[in-house]
A and B are shown apart, each in its own frame.
Chain A
Amino acid sequence: MTWLKLLLQRLRASFSHPQIDQELDMEMASHLEIAIEENLKQGMSVEEARRQASVRFGGVEQAKQQHREARGFLWLDVLSQDLRYTFRALRRDPGFAAIAILILSFGIGANVAVFSVVNTILLRPLPFRDPQQLVWITGLPGKGGLSSQTYSTDAYKAFLSQQRSFQDVTGYFAFSTSDNTRLMGRGEPLLLSGILVNGNFFQTLGVQPILGRLFRPEECQKNAAPVTLLGYAFWKREFGGDPDIVGKAVNFDGRSVTIVGVVPETFDFGSVFSPGSKIDTYGPAILDDMEDWGNTLALIGRLKPGVSIGQAQAEADLLFPRLLFSFKHPDWGGNYTGKLSILKDYVSGKLRRSLIVLWCAVGLILLIVCVNLSNLMLARAAARGKEFAMRSALGAGRGRLVRQLLTESIVLSAIGALLGLGLACGLTFYLAHQGSIALPLLSSVTLDGSALVWTLLITIATAMIFGLVPGLKMSRSNLQEALKDSGQGLSEGKKHETLRAALVISELSLACVLLVGAGLLLHSFLRVLDVDLGFEPSRTAAIKVDFDDSKPERRGAVLRDMLQRILAVPGIEATGVADNLPLDMNRSWGLSAKGKEYKPGELPATFVYVVTPGYLNVMGIRMLAGRDISWQDETGKERVVIINQTAARYLWPGEDPVGRMALVSGMDTRVIGVVADVRESSAETAPGWQMYLPVMQNGPVGARLVVRTKLSPNVLASSVMATLRSINPAQPATEFRPMQNIVDHSVSPRRFFVSLVGIFAVLGLVLASLGIYGVISYSVTRQTQEIGIRMALGATVANVQLRVIAKTLRLALIGIVLGAVASFAMARAITSLLFAVQPNDPPTFTSTILLLTTVAIVAGYVPARRASRINPMIALRND
């Protein structure tokens, strides 16, 4: 209560000070009168009495000031005074204010944007209930792609019933492709991306529908009436957010499906489980129908409270090796492993290092910004030395002066932060709408509360750093000297000079670290782009096609007819069909040499592509030996396969595999050719085993038509679509996807990081060069007189220029050397992010050093030129 009373009193004091001041004046006046009266009584003269009284009283203004400080919200007064003063000062120097604010807004904006990304992907928990309990269950992520990371329905059922660590285990069909469902009966067929999830999927994650309900157990049984849940964005887009949508029926692929609910906006399946893709609808996975599909389920479990992931892993280590692939074929075994990881780590763990590097990069930018502004403030402060000395002489305490400088820096920071927030807002909006970047959760990046708190924090920290350094420096300077100093002295404070030099040096070393980091990442990125993918993405494009596959024995004829007709479209040079494309979805089967014995687990799963003749050609996949698949490799004839080099080398070392007999999923198959390796999972990972099987002899999962053309796919789209429609009127409208897009998508995370770090490095370089230019230019201005004298005494233009440039270079070289040393340490720390580039990559280091030196020379040359043009007469007269 007391403090409350005090607060009220102080508030009153601070708001009603004219009265209080008046009262104080009266009180002091009466004080003096009483004192004078007493002095008179003691026999002093009138004048003496008055003098003594006022000497005893001391400074009236000081006493008043003390009174004000003691009585109330003085800081409020002081603050508003400081603020008013600051705005006045900044208005007087708009150039300085504009530059400072601009620099700050870049620094703060970049930091806030990156923080938002880091926060969303790395720091914020996943948008599920108790996300720390959620566990991702996967097979050993070795070679073999998705098929070795997923489980059969029987294995899932067995694990679910035997385990004791999880509240529940759920899964989803991991092999859904995009655009796999046709929405019909609403005009032209529209392609949707649907996914099948286990009946308990949403319950396990803790996601509640915003409309309707989740799946019921009976809807996950064989022959159940089909139902669907709509994704939020799809519901908004296609149904205009119809609030009465629940219970209505839609036509998916000719089947009437009842909509039972809509999932919330916060639930974005794609962004968590399959970055860069969008899911429109969710259907219940009917496990009984999926028994013979092989390994298809990706598993997620929710730990029981109090069960650690270690305990669950111990249990999984016991259970998984005993799981069966199929209850009907216990002799097949299962050969499963189960590696558990917290879902969040699975989703963003791979990105942690990259994101931290990104965070450090913007941190460095902010440091450079601080250093730059410290420098600017210092230059400004030096120019204002007299003003401060004057204020100090008039009774402003050192604290007050520092506070004044801090107020200025905080005001600048705050304005910069506001602009920066706008910048960050735009940047995060841009990033969130980059559907093509394969980064998890990126679509949910926004400026949220924590980003605002972060902004506040860095704004204050920045202001403190760049306000305090010059502030302390300034207020320590000698009052009398500053007053006497004419401003253009011959020997400006040596200490000042040293501090400024130190600032420039640190700025250059920071920029050096940034540039080397960005250079290494850029070099890695170029190396990734240079990787031989094993196929030719340029000039090829793929489109998902629908064809009548009701009679498997007719599949070859149907596709052959389609390919011939497409080839007849003007501009199309080659065609082919495959069910999966490299760097896109994949699946794997078993492949081994017939007649050889292998240890269990010795052979990796082999990526399988079911293709038509001509596919290898249109993709530019190089035949190394043997022949391509032909239309004669019919159903019922000898089964044939083409394998890649890596598989061939292992299965038939030192022999010619062509003509040998292999086992493909247990069936005798003749090897008819060997092709070059294709990067199937990502451009950066070494290729696994791959095989190509004819569509006539194997069931494809969908079909993608690949065409090679000199024309742009957009130009061709309508004629190709017309041809496809003439074959199959139900062919839905889909887009041509240039293969290059698929490649770009695969390298998009690296491109994302490289471009951001690159931008920051350039920003750092610009700031650092501004910094060094500022310091040199300033020192030239300060030395105008000195240079004038030198020139009067016979120094040549070259002489003067050389001196200035030499000084610049000296600073730059110290900075570069320090920066290079720091860069070595930094490079080692980011080794794991590099691709085919050594941390001490000589081209990167050399070019960085050259670049920085050049920049320093240019930054020094401009003031040097100015120095050499100084007219000695004017310089000496000046002042």
Chain B
Amino acid sequence: MLDWPLLSLLTWIPIAGAVVVAALGQRSPEMVRPLALIVALVTFGLSLLLYVGFDTSTAQMQFVEKAVWIEAFNIHYHLGIDGLSLPLILLNTLICVLVVIGGWRISDRPHQYMAAFLMLHALMTGMFAALDALLFYVFFEAILIPMFLIIGIWGGPNRIYATVKFFLFTFFGSVFMLIALLWLYLDSGSFAVADLHQHEFGLVPQIWVFLAFLIAFAVKVPMWPVHTWLPDAHVEAPTGGSVVLAAVMLKIGGYGLVRFALPITPDAAAHLDWLVIALSLIAIVYIGFVALAQSDMKKLIAYSSISHMGFATLGMFLAFAIARNTGEMTGAGLGMSGAMVQMVSHGFISGAMFLAVGVLYDRVHSREISAYGGVANTMPWFAMFAVLFFMANSGLPGTSGFVGEFMVILAAFHASFWFAFVAAMTLILGAAYSLWLVKRVFYGEVANDNVASLKDLDAREWIMLTVLAVFTLGLGLWPYPLIELMEPSIQNLVEHIMQSKLG
């Protein structure tokens, strides 16, 4: 089985599934949900084969598939994975299963809902596996469409504003990326990511290309100050949309930085690393404060996501400062690993927190913190999960939320005491906004009749939250397997970006 074209299967099975599910909706609606679940489970199962067959001793691309797509422009259908993309693909296929289970009760056009999600996940897998820059770009843009529909159709009252904002922000950024890719093609004659990694060119064009990539991916991460689309999108998105958005879609930005911006334009990155570090530190502290002021649970978690993704971008760009300030490379890989672990961990934790809000929203139809109080009285098991995930969000050791932050803070110290100092403020801020929410929503006397009539988790919700809890704790207690998977690629990346391409 390992010699199958697994990456193509992972991409195309859910796309085919999406088409079938959408078509089935008219004729036999009762088949829609089971079929969607089967497709998601098969995809997840196949992705596990990637894990089984993955060689953790090399930074080489694995499971490579390559075929000519548009010969005139040297564009290929070229897929492959390394230690940077595999964890994100696994995260993606896992979240897909959970989202399908989570959308079980959707009554408004369930076939289209399921089809949109299957399509979304398929495109994201393709994007993470794409080794041709134009293929990447096609997937990158195509992802917008299902998400646009998910928020626009199944979203809240202000969904039109949110979808347009979401679309325009991302589109605005990706235009720059397209220009950069076209320029790179004209300069190098290739769209192959591997060729672009080796392509040498001068500092000034590097800076332009780097900035173009940065704008495209910073919007996706999102980094301060291009982040304001995210809270709006989250607030209006249905629960499943929020889960995918937080758990997987935000990782596209971080992935783009390590796959494109850093290795293609390392000299520009070394010149402008202060910019990314500053924006990351602002995200961690400024957004941490903003999260504290939110009265809407989804907004609070959205801001918390931005703050946590600040650790991912910080960790990625520490290498240059470390080299400059200490003259050696110790700590650079640590920061990069921490950034990647943070992305995966954030996938579990933010996904779980949005699911938790969904659990409450399904029952009470409010996201306002003030609409709740004393939920632990009526939903004790749910409260247990919630405390776990919000504790994980505040970086409690033993949960995955700790691992990435810890590694990035330690790496930041290699670069500068003050980087670590500012980043470590998340210890206080993260705990403050997470636990204050827990206090106001879960503790206290039963606040009103809505809370009094709450029913504890049903089997479906148990499954989703348990799966995420297992991963959150597992990764926190033993991150070794994940890090082992990524290590050769990370070391390779760090070595690569430290070599000047100016020639």
Please determine whether chains A and B interact with each other in the same assembly: no
Question: Chain B interface (Cβ within 8 Å of chain A)?
Answer: none
Question: Chain A interface (Cβ within 8 Å of chain B)?
Answer: none
